[in-house]
Structure 1
């Protein structure tokens, strides 16, 4: 039975169909297995439940193994897979707490398979948490300890994922080529195809759409043979992007609509709607462009919110670990003081005075530590309200503050102006000069805009290259003037990259409470509509709705 167990274990992720009858046989003959073999079988059952997306069942089995298995190797392997499952199901706080425990446990793990699984899933979880340096470190450790065959593929693939999370990958990176060869040699077609698609994405990022199309044609049969839906969706999105890049808009639209029709979740429909929006706008189909843009914005905001949740969850876990460390240190100090007190009871008053001084020092030290912890927590709370790139309000906090401010203004009959700003052709800057230069442009736009705002005004990043401003107690004429000054400041910015000057402009849409009332949703709709009209009428201009639903343009 032991040989059948090992065979089922080896086949689960390489030839799943062949593993299933073996697993059924093992469960029928479970009574004949030794206790250690029964834990092995339970681990395989948990893996199977996870493969079938029965996450409650697999989690219950994994946790049972972690708590009760006599062999620590099974507990370590179960912990590693549970970590991956928690990341996939977006239970980030639990995932990062488990990752912290696994990292602490790693030096004591001696079983080769368990250590390898721990290293792989630590790398994946830290890449998701936005910690590329740690992710790369664990991936390289996994690569050094990888068993021959599929282990080399898994570890090389995890290194590619870690490098990609830190934007450190190009289509000719040696790590990427090594991973492709390792997965081909291990006969893991799904991984091989996924890595080839990574190459195609890098071709597109670096402005080589025809190479991307050639690669997609080359691997099309392998994608169909695998039947792996995520790879199929990624290939469809890449083909649509490549076709749009070479100017074949009709074929690109057809490919993007095919992605939407599959009703998938994840980044694919978001990318498809963005592409459809740009194609329809390019061809002058305003209604279709607006419809696709609205769907893209909803999905893009969901993506940005998920990124923010990951970051907050990781930082929260780190704060919790710090608090536990401080509590442990505090208990250690208390134990030391108690022992000292027993020794000092038999001494003179002078010795007692020394004890009091030491106690006060210990209390002062504890107060300093608690002060540092509180300051760190306050700083973390403040950062959770800010956009990590530009240091202004993030979308969620901006909208909350705008809603509260509008409520107060309504009670005292005050006025306000909601301003939406969108940078023109910003994707072209990212595609031409790289995302690092795009990030620098966003930071400089914020600096230029802030010079024309007051302390009472609210300023936030709504996502991507779009910003929002609430001008408090601002008349219609003042709002138009401030918006025009901001537009001119953006247009006058000088941003250089390798000797070339990057031209930047912004389209601005405004909505006023004296026309729309103090309802946040209506103000947003009107400002967004004005912004869209500014885009449609030629960009680099300020447009505002007026009371009779006409427009005024600066």
Structure 2
């Protein structure tokens, strides 16, 4: 299975930064009547990250006393109410409140702050197309935002959403702009944290990176426990990536009291999963299973998250190692469901970001076309007053303008075709992605059923692929995946369908192919992979695959049933020793 333990889980954690989700003991304060509402609102907004309980008390006080407020103060109070609603997790209500401030307040500073907060709201609710469209708008408005606090908030949310879209360099750029534009009284805690997130997601961070310790020190000094814990959990995850599980356990023991005190759900869940992985690496299956089961129990019903995916992966491997086949299969099914949902979410993010960029390009092109048309009209008016000798110049200029427009139209069309291609191909291997493979396979089977032809579905999974990633790194792991694709293509016909189902698992639909022919093809692929090691930086990496096969002759033409039976055959191949082909209902070993 893919090396899920090394992926970063920062989107919910850095939502805490956008909201300043700090649950600290509230220092005793004397409550007095509100005599200056403007100063009271400023004090409340200054406390919303440093002393959230006191901030909530102040909001309740101003609502209960209801002092006379100017129109601007009323809109500022509505913005703070929207902030608190979003902090409580009511994203639908907070979105309506934020859009009300944006559309009707008329206050440029409040509009910028509310837009930045809305950007996080849309992102965490997976409304990626709207989020990236808003990010493009905020980017264009950034030069006009002069209020230090509003500019700081916009830069932070832009860095976060671009990191989420995989635009690492842009995310780091905006985080550095944050550091250069810190309002008075701010510490470099948030800018450092944003840079840490982007560097980790870009695989440019190690446990020895100086910026990591600088960020932790800055957040400790600024009394930001949740953000400090986020950075420390990054460090503990780096220890896992670097195969230092004992350090992971030690660091988790150190931060556990703070995580329990703040009771921040993403940190509680991720710390349990990291414990499970670390104990598993140390060979302590009992504690690993205990931590993984605690993580699963903590998860929300129906939740899809990478944390739960890793927890199910740990449980599957432990049960499989101890020979508990039924439990292992159950955990594997949960893991596979989480894994597929995760890849679908990544595809949705990528598509939304590309669509937003295409929309901006189309708008730019339309503006340029209008400008060119206006230029042509002005040129025609000028040429009408001149003599015949200037007509040639007019024609030349007109052709140049039209050629320029045609050039941009062709460029836009090319970008759109490229985007369409990316929507159904896997970015790493160049074969069909999971969604497109399933769609094409279902369509092909329906056509084949009318002709009563035969087809076979093959599931291929690389054996011990996680060890390749752990030993040689992800770059070599990617080379192994591409090498596998090349070998498979050599044994397939142009009419066969070939796709990546997720991680190191691939699917092949052999059309107009009997079961015996499919077995022969599957075994040739298996033998070719086993006999063709990868030469990676001087190291010879040998690996094998397990293959599961189901045929329409015995399973019918329903794709879901073929997938279940091919998956079950693949699981049997894994369970009975790997490096073999298992046909649904019988055993064929290499």
TM-score range, shorter-chain basis? over 0.9
Match of 1:465 among 491, 504, 515: 504
Aligned pairs (5 A) from 1:260-275:
260-264=296-300, 265=303, 266-275=305-314
Structure-2 separation of matches of 1:214 and 1:382: 47
The DSSP-based 3-state class of the residue aligned with 2:460 is strand
Q: Is the 8 A contact 2:581 2:587 kept in 1?
A: no
Q: Is the 8 A contact 2:580 2:588 kept in 1?
A: no
Aligned to 2:22: none
Structure-1 separation of matches of 2:184 and 2:479: 44
Match of 1:62 among 62, 80, 98: 98
Post-superposition offset of 1:357: 4.3
Aligned to 2:51: 15
Post-superposition offset of 1:304: 0.5
Are positions 1:440 and 2:479 aligned together? Answer: yes
Post-superposition offset of 1:37: 2.7
Post-superposition offset of 1:353: 5.1
Structure 2 unaligned spans of 5+: 1-36
Post-superposition offset of 1:391: 0.6
Are positions 1:26 and 2:62 aligned together? Answer: yes
Post-superposition offset of 1:253: 0.9
Structure-2 separation of matches of 1:26 and 1:211: 48
Q: Is the 8 A contact 1:270 1:299 kept in 2?
A: yes
Are positions 1:160 and 2:196 aligned together? Answer: yes
Q: Is the 8 A contact 1:30 1:38 kept in 2?
A: no
Aligned to 1:195: 231
Post-superposition offset of 1:13: 2.2
The DSSP-based 3-state class of the residue aligned with 2:385 is coil
Are positions 1:490 and 2:526 aligned together? Answer: no
CA RMSD of aligned residues (A): 1.7
Q: What does the per-residue CA deviation read over 1:27-82, in whole Å, with 9 as the maximum and x for residues that have no partner?
A: 35666333333332222111111112222332223223223334322211111111
Aligned to 2:292: 256
Q: Decide which moves more: 33-42 or 121-130.
A: 33-42
Aligned to 2:414: 375
Post-superposition offset of 1:451: 1.1
Structure 1 unaligned spans of 5+: none
Q: What does the per-residue CA deviation read over 1:504-545, in whole Å, with 9 as the maximum and x for residues that have no partner?
A: 110011111112111111111111111111111110111112
**Does 1 or 2 have the higher relative contact order (CA < 8 Å, sep 6+)?**
2
Q: Is the 8 A contact 2:310 2:335 kept in 1?
A: yes
Structure-2 separation of matches of 1:304 and 1:447: 22
Are positions 1:291 and 2:330 aligned together? Answer: yes
Structure-2 separation of matches of 1:6 and 1:457: 66
TM-score (norm: length of structure 2): 0.90
Post-superposition offset of 1:211: 0.8
Q: What does the per-residue CA deviation read over 1:360-393, in whole Å, with 9 as the maximum and x for residues that have no partner?
A: 4333332232122112111110111000110100
Match of 2:424 among 374, 379, 385: 385
Structure-1 separation of matches of 2:226 and 2:399: 64
Aligned to 1:120: 156
Q: How many residues of Structure 1 are paired with residues of Structure 2 in the alignment?
A: 551
Aligned to 2:133: 97
Structure-2 separation of matches of 1:347 and 1:398: 64
Q: Is the 8 A contact 2:276 2:292 kept in 1?
A: yes
Post-superposition offset of 1:149: 5.7
Q: Is the 8 A contact 1:194 1:231 kept in 2?
A: yes
Aligned pairs (5 A) from 1:65-84:
65-84=101-120
Are positions 1:241 and 2:277 aligned together? Answer: yes
Post-superposition offset of 1:87: 0.7
Post-superposition offset of 1:169: 1.3
